[in-house]
């Protein structure tokens, strides 16, 4: 008698609507358990890719000063970018560990030929630099100074910068600044005159 009553209760509980609901819940549970595998956690603000600023030119005083001004300006605006800005110290540490040293001819990566953005010197290719620095994107640049012969001060200073995609090796952005020789003697002047204008024009911004 007890068994019969249990069967009746079971049949009442599993009405057509209840059966359909159970099936929907079961399917949803199955989908949840079979979803995508573990994902790497994005960086702050949802940013995953990183931009590394490679030491400019041959790493001499003017090159280093301009690079520092740019890195400082980029870092101060980091929250507005869709990529993370890799600290210069981290970039330098990684490159040093890999045995890489600044080379002025790095700027001569072919950017206007059939070798567009691929490589100039084997170890200085944009793809290699991205791998060595651990960043998705790399910025390279060179500072050119000029003046009268035997002059103790520069009459002019120009900056050429390019950003490369480390996966494809292609140049994705270029920037030029000219005539900032007077700012070379001051770190703050370099930041305001060179670093901040570049940082505002960097393409990795939310639209």
Give a yes or no: residue 41 inside a domain: no
Let me know whether 176 and 80 are in one domain.
yes
The predicted pLDDT at position 156 comes to 81
Give a yes or no: residue 39 inside a domain: no
The predicted pLDDT at position 32 comes to 33
Give a yes or no: residue 181 inside a domain: yes
Let me know whether 127 and 170 are in one domain.
yes
Let me know whether 9 and 89 are in one domain.
no
Give a yes or no: residue 176 inside a domain: yes
Let me know whether 57 and 29 are in one domain.
no
Let me know whether 27 and 56 are in one domain.
no
Give a yes or no: residue 207 inside a domain: no
* Tally of structural domains, the chain: 2
Let me know whether 69 and 126 are in one domain.
yes
What is the residue range of 59's domain? 49-201
Let me know whether 18 and 62 are in one domain.
no
Mean pLDDT of successive 10-residue stretches along the chain, which has 207 residues: 45 46 39 32 61 89 93 96 96 94 68 42 70 95 75 74 91 92 89 96 83
Let me know whether 75 and 137 are in one domain.
yes
Let me know whether 64 and 137 are in one domain.
yes
The predicted pLDDT at position 88 comes to 97
Secondary structure of the chain in HEC code, one letter for each residue: CHHHHHHHHHHHHCCHHHHHHHHHHHHHHHHHHCCCCCCCCCCHHHCCCEEEECCCCCCCHHHHHHHHHHHHHHHHCHHHECCEECCHHHHHHHHHHCCCCCCHHHHHCCCCCCCCCCCCCHHHCHHHHHHHHCCCEEEEEEEEEECCCCCCCCCEEEEEEEEEECCCCCEEEEEEEECCHHHHHCHHHHHHHHHHHHHHHCCCECC
The predicted pLDDT at position 10 comes to 44
Residue 162 sits in a domain whose CATH number is 3.40.50.10610
The predicted pLDDT at position 25 comes to 38
Give a yes or no: residue 40 inside a domain: no
The predicted pLDDT at position 145 comes to 83
């Amino acid at each position: 008698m007890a068994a019969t009553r249990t069967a009746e209760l079971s049949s009442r509980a599993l009405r057509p609507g209840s059966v359909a609901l159970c099936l929907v819940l079961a399917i949803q549970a199955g989908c949840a358990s079979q979803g995508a595998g573990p994902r790497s956690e994005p960086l702050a603000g949802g940013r995953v890719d990183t931009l590394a600023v490679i030491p400019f030119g041959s790493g001499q005083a003017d090159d280093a000063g301009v690079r520092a001004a740019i890195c400082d300006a980029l870092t101060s605006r980091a929250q507005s970018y869709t990529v993370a800005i890799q600290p210069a110290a981290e970039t330098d540490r990684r490159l040093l560990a890999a045995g890489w040293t600044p080379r002025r001819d790095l700027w001569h990566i072919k950017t206007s030929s059939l070798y567009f953005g691929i490589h100039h010197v084997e170890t200085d290719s944009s793809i290699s630099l991205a791998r060595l620095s651990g960043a998705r994107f790399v910025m390279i640049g060179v500072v050119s100074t000029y003046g009268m012969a035997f002059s103790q001060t520069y009459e002019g200073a120009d900056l050429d910068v390019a950003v490369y995609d480390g996966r494809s090796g292609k140049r994705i952005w270029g920037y030029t600044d000219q005539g900032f020789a007077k700012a070379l003697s001051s770190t703050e002047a370099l930041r305001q005159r060179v670093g901040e204008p570049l940082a505002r024009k960097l393409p990795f911004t939310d639209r």
